[in-house]
A and B are shown apart, each in its own frame.
Chain A
Amino acid sequence: MNAPADVGYHAMQHARWRWSEIAFWLLALSCAFLFPSRYLIMTEIVRLALFALSLDLILGYAGIVSLGHAAFFGVGAYSAGLLALHGIVTEPVMALVAAGLIAGALGFLTSFLVIRGVDLTRLMVTLGIALLLEALAERFSDITGGTDGLQGIEMQPILGLFAFDMFGKVGFFYSLIVLFLLFLLARRIVHSPFGLSLRAIRNNPLRAAAIGIPVNRRVIAIYTVAAFYAGIAGALFTQTTALASLDVFSFERSADLLLVLVIGGTGYLYGGLIGAVVFRMLQEFFSNLTPQYWQFWIGLVLVVIVLVGRQRLHRWALWAPNLVVRQFSGRKAIIAVSEGDAP
């Protein structure tokens, strides 16, 4: 077998759906019927998962550390809010796509700033863009509502059929379907030759450039896609809560997002999803423990994760599931490895 065909074969093998993945989504769906009283918090988790998925695309696959990913979330949130408030696009799905596209456009424009410079400059530029947008949103308070946020947003029924109810049931299913569809798209992207080239860039940009991968163009492309995803997550936030306030741009949001992804592990797409569930449960647990000071414990979790080492932690977490899988299938099947942590 010649080399390209070999690579293609392995890529196809890698991209096949595994049982564990199907089980994961069935489990997610069954949550909807198991906990009918917790729709609001589950919607929140789904939203966070989508947002984390978006960061995973650039952090886990292209190796860009961003401290200001909330910028795109915020732009998506305000776009969706303004579109609905002024009756420009009233149908939620259309508004969702429009908000995503606006955020994507911003992502495309700012990606030229991101490809310039290395790690530290990137950190500063991404952080600077988010702060800049926050300052802008505060400044143009006649449009954004300033510190009060956008108020009085009324959402029309989805596709003209399903109206948002006060228990958040429709909102939850809507968010879950959006997450699933975008996940399918992300899965397709990362398993495509394009996704493979991204991983090459993450592992060694210089070498990737040497074998003929147009590094800058690939980074711009994935950054734009990630901004689109983040915009959609932000739009979902506005649509399901009928609210958009300045804190959508806040640094804490970007920092929390990094934590979500770090808990779940980067570079295998499910990291953001699992991380979102764990993070929200941790947050819930800590705020029950000390309502005002839960941030302390979240910080402690971050410090401990880093000190123990992300790779080691994921090995421990995967030990039990892998053991079960091996027992049942009898061969050395590994259900999930966090590739993002490979050197």
Chain B
Amino acid sequence: MTSLFTNLFDGVAYGMLLFVLSCGLAVTLGLMNFVNLAHGSFAMAGGYVCAILVNQSGWPFFAALPLAFVASALIGMVLERSLYRHLYNRSHLDQVLFSIGLVFMSVAAVDYIMGSSRIFIKLPAALEGQIDFFGVGIGRYRLMIIVICALLTAALQLVLARTRFGSRLRAAVDDPRAAGGLGINVPQVFAFTFAFGCGLAGLGGALSAEILGLDPYFPLKFMIYFLIVVTVGGSSSITGPFLASLLLGIGDVAGKYYVPKLGPFVIYTIMIVILIWRPNGLFGRTAAR
């Protein structure tokens, strides 16, 4: 019984992490209709920035996390302004090729600079070990992830639903031409959103080094997970990807614990079945735009 709760807890932490990693992609792929397979590269960048700061420069972990966000967001901003924006109107094939190229480059570049072995980030002592909560062992690190990610999700939801920027973004996504006509600077909104999504991915990458493992092949290994979250979750709101990541996280952890022989097989099958059943995602709009 306790193992069930521990698994559930781990699954939720994993799912929350996946959500932070991939909600930027939900915006680029779901809302801006840009197939960005290189999203994991931004996450990896954040993870490595955090690792360098903590391990080599001796920064405290919690101070390095925001910098991981900023670094990834900056890289995202620069790439968006210089490269990505030329490709918004191109075919999906072009976008796929371009972003695969970026993935290959980032993998080789990180391999060259940092070496190909897995990197660990030194955690503060307060985050190690478990708390005993009514007989259920709860990892401190995972608890922290859940707290951070839940706060972020709530903040994101508030920003999207309540602020002026949120309504601008929603307008720009629904109909870029009409939004432009109303005086909204659509490219700027997109650029800012893209950078913010990359920053979140970077933060997720820094947080995930402990759980998912951080090596140069990170973008390739987890690409399918990010894509699953977005395609299964649909793109109409932030709730869809959130629920999808939770499902994926819990499903993956439970699958690995209860049927370890089947491995990732379960996840892929579920994904294909869901996509066949509802091509626009579980929580997506029924009509394709």
Contact = CB atoms under 8 A, between A and B. Distances in A.
- Size band of the interface chain A makes with B: 35 or more
Contacts of B29: 120
Contact of B112 (A296, A300, A303): A296
B97 interface: yes
B276 interface: yes
Interface residues of B, number: 43
B178 interface: no
Contacts, number: 124
Of the listed residues A124, A139, A255, the one surrounded by the most CB atoms of chain B closer than 10 A to its CB is A124
Interface in B75-100: 83, 86-87, 90, 92-94, 96-98, 100
A15 to B, nearest CB: 26
A113 B98 CA distance: 26
Contact of B268 (A65, A119, A128, A302): A128
A233 B224 CA distance: 26
A181 interface: no
B105 A258 contact: no
Contacts of A255: 100, 104
A258 B288 contact: no
A262 B231 contact: no
Contacts of B272: 113, 125, 128-129, 132
Nearest to A118: B288
Interface in A108-135: 113, 116-121, 123-125, 127-129, 131-132, 135
A251 B220 contact: yes
Contacts of A117: 275-276, 279
B101 interface: yes
B92 A132 contact: no
Given A139-B263, A251-B220, A67 B96 contact: yes
Contacts of A307: 83, 86-87, 98
Nearest to B281: A121
Given A132-B265, A296-B108, A306 B271 contact: no
Interface in A282-305: 292-296, 298-303, 305
Interface string B255-277: 00000011111001101100110
A306 B94 contact: yes
B102 interface: yes
A314 interface: no
B174 interface: no
B97 to A, nearest CB: 5
B103 interface: yes
Given A131-B268, A132-B272, A139-B262, A120 B35 contact: yes
Contacts of A251: 220, 223
A124 B87 contact: no
A299 B279 contact: no
B287 to A, nearest CB: 12
B101 A299 contact: yes
Interface of A: 59, 65, 67, 113, 116-121, 123-125, 127-129, 131-132, 135-136, 138-139, 251-252, 255, 258-259, 262, 292-296, 298-303, 305-307, 310
The 7 closest A-B pairs by CB, nearest first: A299-B104, A302-B101, A296-B108, A117-B279, A299-B105, A303-B101, A306-B98
